[in-house]
Structure 1
């Protein structure tokens, strides 16, 4: 490319690599496959420390995020960083845990120093998908890069070359392999019969940009003659006989007429400053010409011309110069011209695998960075699919992500079981049939489980085999993009349940023994095996594993526009005992020898990078150990999550319904469990039940309450009334008492009467229970329950229940089984007693005034009895102390009912 700055640079005897071709270059000999590391675009991920320091300009610590500080940089305290800040804020004094947090902070600094030896900044650390895997180059080729330090050589094999594992593979000691274990393979597109290769390395037959542009028919010579005549000043370099005039002359002067033509023949070259001074000395007696009087020193930076231009006329002329882009653009050919000249060596939809020759023998694997995979289900051989639809056919986004809401109403769903038919449903069916239902129900976010590729369907998607691929059993990557896009169009955020806490033990489609070594991605020995689940545990202390996992999070946001993640089973990764231990809350349990510090550092990095790159992203922690500081800022010693899940709530409701008679329920236990830790109440996500309650032998609350009740059952009417009443009350109190987020699993909102059971050998691979019975919404109690669900969601939408601060829980009576609390202007009253009703039950309120009943679980439209007379819908306070408050209400309170009142008018006394 002949731009002005480059020519001024080359004019003063600066050697330029493109004028020496390698003997291994694909241009010297036309192969279907060629192997080399491109000199002009060597990926940052595989640069050495020396290369990094020489090739990258110096940056401040602000530019590099949290790059290593110089001696004179500000201290952590001045930057607002306190490794034990959240302990100080909460008034917690624990020397061992505080020391652990300080050591963890120091370890994070050391880790970042190691990262910055290989990456420019943390953004680049999380952008490995831009260079790893398979990508179309702007020129006529496809580049493939993989990390496999245990391999001797690597190749791409597929249906495009008859699965040949040895043809032009990348071998150890050649350009296809670097010191970090990255392998690079170039797959050249094939010239059609009668076509000739490109004359210049920068003439692009581009598959992606300007894809509808054909060949203009203008030759290179004509374009450069036009540039020489119209653009270049007298004395400036010209393009003559397929070469740049001045660089060619300088090259011959320096190396002679029989100059070396390959890198192997080229002797060591002096540095740029030495060469320039020698040239200047040689030409000191030359008469003045038309060249600008300036000095050029090659400092290794992007722009080398930095000295003062002495002549004001030339300074003005030089400043006005612009690269001859219009001429250069005429050399660019679009996809129409590309299709005429080339056939792709790996067409869209091609099947491929990566081939490794290892000390233990040859291996074929599904690439770790593959974006579309067909696992070896049903006995078929696994393979990756090159997903590169023509630009005119690729999915085009229509909607932007909705704004981040102040409260989350999350609808958790599994695409495969979202149909009422006994089959695996698809992304497209989910988009058409389920998304409108979610919007109608009043939710503002969906959370997808099992959407990432997994070989075994019965694992629900938690034994992930390919972290960069959507599950092929549900559809294509473009189908998933459409799902996300349509959800955004409906105002729904899209979260992924991401599994970075362990990985499938499979070898062909998974990462186990990926390159023949046992510790490529995972720990070796016992630490690399989950104690009970048979899965593999990631080696979080390895920078390349961090590169893989952090890039994976960024990939789902950049490629698929997801809005957040629920990090699955953090306790499995944060402890070497995988979370299978009794936690009493003693802080010693969070800093002892069983804590995996590397995993904690990964979680801190993940939250730091995600929130820096994508400010609206939401991260949710699923942790059974209640690790301190989950949702505290990382600068204050926390892990940086936006929400954490109160996992004890769902277990409490299941235990009460199955093991405790209704009249023995403890209101104190219910409230204490629902509230959890008050200090983190604003970060809590709650649910009455999620998918865990109805998978692997568990039961949904509806199945426990009335799953086996029918018209022939004794007292069926009373049992159904009890079940529906408790179902509404459990969901309402869980939804409103605490936290800024609520989650519901698909179908539970209308009381789905059956559990979920995926097809497996124990049930004869039946799909009977791997469905959702949407037809139940049309009539009966399920329609009534869904009506209540919609009004409960609407209550938050109109009254902002979840976004309000912690409620004032002023009445908890175990004898009457009544709970009452105030959240904002709303009063919530629950009577869990199975038989005792109250005509006038006294509960305290903070404000004197008129209160209106705005939600009543006993309404007939919800399947209740409608026992409250309409005259009681407006209540006026009484000046009488109750529950420690100056005013009170006397409300009608039938058994197993709940009511929500809103303060409509304040009375001043």
Structure 2
């Protein structure tokens, strides 16, 4: 039903916290938290933006970063005093500083830490070669083996002098391109080739010597550059200045060189008779900013030097194009080559799929899994066409699994999903796609949650270029693309995954029981190790840079935050979030992940999935939070499933519905909550979808079929509408559930004889007129309501009425009045609830309309209802007709009061 409210601004009084004389709460003490303060009840005529709670003033914003840091800010904002948790937050803040100091001993900054993918794994070098780097501290020997060298463990190995093995356990292998018959090697080894950009250009024919000579003639002043004549002359002169004409000639003669400070003190002592001007350009402890051009005192030369740019143009002129490279060399590792990394370990030789491999074949018949070298020629590599869509104020997320997204019982490809599913999702009105099961995994039946290769898209669905096209086409349709990322554990496979990777049991994971998930048979990461941090943080940056991903859904944080993997009874006491079972290293990783991602990609969205609702999931990291943008309310789907399975319709508790959907008290930002009525886990993990519960056992031609279908349809719509409108600024739906998909999802396993019969979606059900197409129409209009009227982005709802006896719920969100009657049999001719604005209300969305599969008792276009003012209480209320299992939201318009 739709109500249009016609009203003038003077009829917009604010309700105080105690303005509920006509609203019935079954258990009033339990609902005090539903009475939102006046800061959320702004008059519609007010035009001034309201300052948010704890928003810093301009004066505060100008303070130093250290002053803005408040390790226990999350508790301050929640108004909680808890000494143990406060102390834990302070210790965690100090541990974060110590962890960063540990990181900065090896990396220049956090961006470099998260850019390991630029060095690790297999990379084309401009100097006609490929470089391979791997981290395997427990190995004694490393080589790259593959079909390109007949799987030889000696031909392409780490050599002494080429970072064969450094102090941190990194191995470096150089694979040289092969010179073609009749071709001569380049004069200089560092001759560069432009493999990717402008692959058919850059072949100017200028030699290195010619370019250097031109640089000498056109750029360098006489005597400035002697490199072409004698490359060692400058080094020799410098060596002679330091050690004298008879300096040491061998390493043994060189002995230990004193540290810089000792040498500087000796230098000062040697020149102690010099005037102070002699030391004016010394930079050690000078505290001065030195302009290198100030060294030149001649004004003419100063101006000339300032205008000069580095002579890179001469160097780039020597680079040859891709065609020149192909003419002269054959690639040492052709595109599509299969390879593995070979280790010699204390336990014997091992072959592993590289940890940083970007394309993997996990199931090669009769053979060990292998990586695939993915280096398509530039004419075949995907070219991005679309920019990232603008981040919307509210998220309508459509969750998908590519493999089961088709109608046919087969594994659907990236290309099929791009061509068929993406336009459908756009048509439904969703603005974001969340994909799970995309990252490579060996066992398809795990739905992609036992990841084996963090940097590879699953080869089941297509190639990396196919996935890039999927993301790009989604962006072209205005859809954000979120990736379900599993950093909370890893597959325990040893032939393909990271387990026992370098012959040891503690390379990436904890040893002993701590390294194994208690129930899932997976491995647990060692988040306190800097190399593991580099691997995981770089992985996030890789997906954001290589595949233009717009956000990440961090799967199952409770598995990583607690040593008991979240399998414990939680009562909500803060002691449970800071006791000995909490993994502080895992929390530090999440803080670093959010800080780095938001610094490198300011518009990226991070979503936390945590069943324990760890305090401050979406609070800023500087205020003691973890820094996520959104968090999922896992309790909502569990509540609805419990009601449908175990509770008679007339015994549903409205109080429980509201308290569950409103959110957890330990999360300060409830507007950042993502709600969903049902998730894919329920139907995939042996459970049932709501559609299967509501429609699965109905015999089409039985006498009670009509009534049962009406019941199922009504509940299906009520559950979705209240779930999407009473919570935060985001709503999620798993594909097919929007129309009541009647079949569960069942991946091929031994128990079903590896059948794909239920690993698909029944899109054929919505092509004919009936219950499924009716539910689909309702879901479209529900999404359209948020798209056009911005329902979810209008702040938190103001809940006015919750009655367990009448089974009615009423609340306002912005100008919208939502009323729900969950009672299976009772209708109400005039049901009174409070409203905040005076005027006439018109129905704009009614679940009971015939086009949605309802009975159409109330006609939207004919139904207007005016608010009434109670003289004594000075409050407004509205009386409306409510049929059983029906609902409508209402909107008002600012016109003259009639």
> Do Structure 1 and Structure 2 share a fold, with TM-score over 0.5?
yes
Aligned residue among 727, 742, 746 for 2:731: 742
Contact kept, 8 Å, 2:142 with 2:341, in 1: the verdict is yes
The yes-or-no answer on 1:614 pairing with 2:604 is no
Q: Residue 377 of structure 2: SS of its match in structure 1?
A: coil
Q: Tell me, what secondary structure is at the counterpart of 1:465?
A: strand
1:132 is the counterpart of 2:154? no
Equivalent residue for 2:443, pick from 456, 460, 475: 456
What SS class does the counterpart of residue 855 from structure 1 fall into?
coil
Give the match for residue 186 of structure 2: 198
Q: Are 1:890 and 2:879 an aligned pair?
A: yes
- Superposed counterparts of 1:467-866, under 5 Å: 467-677=454-664, 679-779=668-768, 780-866=770-856
- In structure 2, relative to structure 1, the CA distance for the partners of 1:81 and 1:217 (3 Å cut) is closer
Structure 2: how far apart are the matches of 1:549 and 1:209?
A: 29
Q: Give per-residue Cα distances to partners, 1:34-71, cap 9 Å, x unaligned.
A: xxxxxxxxxxxxxxxxxxxxxxxxxxxxxxxxxxxxxx
Contact 2:158-2:172 at 8 Å conserved across structures: yes
Equivalent position of 1:38 in the other structure: none
Question: 2:868 aligned with 1:869, yes or no?
Answer: no
Matched residues in 2 for 1:584 and 1:263: separation? 66
Deviation per residue, 1:754-789 (Å, 9 max, x gap): 010001001111111100011111111111111100
The alpha-carbon deviation at position 197 of structure 1 amounts to 2.0
**Matches of 2:789 and 2:252, distance apart in 1:** 75
* Aligned-partner Cα distance in 2 for 1:771–1:160: 39
2:352 to 361, 365, 372: 365
The corresponding residue for 1:104 is 92
- In the alignment, structure 1 segments of 5+ residues that lack a partner are 1-73, 282-292
After superposing the two structures, state which structure 1 stretch, 432-441 or 330-339, moved more. Answer: 330-339
The answer to whether the Cα contact below 8 Å between 2:134 and 2:172 also exists between their aligned partners in 1 is yes
Contact kept in structure 2, 1:751 and 1:785, CA below 8 Å = yes
1:390 Cα deviation after fit: 1.2
Task: Using the TM superposition, give the Cα deviation of residue 226 of structure 1 relative to its aligned residue in structure 2, in angstroms.
Answer: 4.2
**2:176 corresponds to which residue?**
188
SS in 2 for 1:812: strand
The within-5 A match list for 1:392-411 is: 392-411=379-398
Counterpart of 2:320 in 1: which secondary structure?
coil
Structure 2 residue matching 1:733: 3-state secondary structure: helix
Deviation at 1:173, TM superposition (A): 8.5
Equivalent-residue separation in structure 1 for 2:145 and 2:874 (angstroms): 76
Q: Secondary structure at the match of 1:890?
A: strand
Task: Tell me how far 1:229 sits from its aligned partner.
Answer: 4.4
In structure 1, what is the Cα distance between the partners aligned to 2:629 and 2:300? 59
CA deviation digits over 1:288-332, x for unaligned, max 9?
Answer: xxxxx99999999x9996662133343334334444444333311
Aligned to 2:68: 80
CA distance in 1, matches of 2:521, 2:215: 66
Select the residue among 81, 85, 90 that pairs with 2:78.
Answer: 90
Q: Alpha-carbon deviations, 1:558-610, whole Å to 9, x = none?
A: 11111111111111111111111110001111111111111111111111111
Per-residue deviation, residues 361-382 of structure 1 (Å, max 9, x unmatched): 1110011111111103655420
Paired with 1:727 and 1:589, the residues of 2 have a C-alpha distance of 36
SS state at 1:720 partner: helix
- 1:343-389 Cα deviation digits (max 9, x unpaired): 11001111110111111111100111111111036554200011111
Please tell me whether the aligned partners of residues 147 and 339 of structure 2 are also in contact (alpha carbons under 8 angstroms): yes
Give how far 1:266 is off. Answer: 9.0
Moved more, 701-710 or 432-441: 701-710
Contact 2:140 2:346 in 1 (8 A): yes
Provide the rounded CA distance (Å) in 2 between the counterparts of 1:263 and 1:137: 31
Partner of 2:152, secondary structure, is coil
Distance 1:345 1:358, change over 3 A: same
Post-superposition offset of 1:208? 2.3
In structure 2, what is the Cα distance between the partners aligned to 1:110 and 1:718?
65
User: How many Å separate the matches in 1 of 2:656 and 2:305?
Assistant: 79
Cα distance in 1 for residues equivalent to 2:830 and 2:554:
47
Preserved CA contact (<8 Å) 1:237 1:245: no
Structure 1 residues 167 and 296: CA distance shift in structure 2, 3 A: farther
Q: TM-score, normalised by structure 2?
A: 0.86
Measured after TM superposition, the shift of residue 170 of structure 1 is: 1.6
CA distance in 1, matches of 2:360, 2:279: 56
Looking at structure 2, the residues matched to 318 and 294 of structure 1 have their Cα atoms a distance apart, in angstroms, of 23
Q: Are 1:900 and 2:892 matched, yes or no? A: no
Closer/same/farther in 2, CA of residues 718 and 79 from structure 1, 3 Å limit: same
Are the counterparts in 1 of residues 846 and 860 from structure 2 also a CA contact under 8 Å?
no
How far apart are the structure 2 equivalents of 1:885 and 1:520?
70
Structure 2 CA distance for partners of 1:296 and 1:789, relative to 1, 3 Å: same
Structure 2 match to 1:384? 371
Matched residues, number: 820
Kindly indicate whether the alpha-carbon contact (under 8 Å) linking 2:74 and 2:615 is maintained by their aligned counterparts in 1: no
Kept after mapping to 1: 8 A contact 2:294/2:302: no
Separation in structure 1 between the aligned mates of residue 475 and residue 96 of structure 2, nearest angstrom: 36
Q: Distance in 2 between matches of 1:221 and 1:379?
A: 53
d(CA) in 2 for partners of 1:871, 1:468: 55
Sort the Cα spacing of 1:681 and 1:550 in 2 relative to 1 into closer, same or farther, 3 A: same
Distance 1:753 1:853 in 2: 30
Aligned-residue offset at 1:130: 0.9
RMSD: 3.1
- Asked if the contact 1:657–1:704 (Cα under 8 Å) also holds between the matched residues in 2, the reply is yes
The 1:446–1:813 alpha-carbon spacing in structure 2 relative to 1, beyond 3 Å, is same
CA distance in 2, matches of 1:91, 1:729: 34
Q: CA–CA distance in 1 between the matches of 2:499 and 2:333? A: 27
Q: In structure 2, what is the equivalent of residue 159 of structure 1?
A: 147
Instruction: Tell me, yes or no, if the aligned pair for 1:449 and 1:497 is still in contact at 8 Å.
Output: yes
For 1:503 and 1:134, the matched residues in 2 are separated by 22
Residues 213 and 268 of structure 1: CA distance in aligned 2, closer, same or farther (over 3 Å): farther
Unaligned runs of 5+ in 2: 1-61, 271-277
* d(CA) in 2 for partners of 1:77, 1:240: 50
480-489 vs 801-810, greater mean Cα deviation: 801-810
Q: Post-superposition shift, 1:863?
A: 1.1
- In 1, the alpha carbon distance for the partners of 2:259 and 2:657 equals 76
Partners of 2:211 and 2:652 lie apart in 1 by 86
Separation in structure 2 between the aligned mates of residue 877 and residue 400 of structure 1, nearest angstrom: 47
Could you say if the C-alpha distance between residues 272 and 628 of structure 1 is closer, same or farther in structure 2, counting changes exceeding 3 Å?
A: closer
- C-alpha contact (below 8 Å) 2:158/2:174 kept by paired residues: no
**For residues 328 and 604 of structure 1, do their structure 2 counterparts lie closer, same or farther at Cα, with a shift above 3 Å needed?**
closer
- Aligned with 1:79: secondary structure? helix
Maintained 8 Å contact 1:272/1:298: no
**2:453 pairs with 454, 462, 466, which one?**
466
Contact 1:296 1:304 in 2 (8 A): no
Tell me if the contact between 1:154 and 1:171 (Cα under 8 Å) persists in the aligned partners: no
Q: Distance in 2 between matches of 1:148 and 1:789?
A: 51
Q: Secondary structure at the match of 1:753?
A: coil
User: Secondary structure in 1 aligned to 2:809?
Assistant: strand
Q: Is the 8 A contact 1:590 1:627 kept in 2?
A: yes
- SS of equivalent residue, structure 2 residue 880: strand
In structure 2, the residue matched to 1:351 is: 338
1:2-50 CA distance string (max 9 Å, x none): xxxxxxxxxxxxxxxxxxxxxxxxxxxxxxxxxxxxxxxxxxxxxxxxx
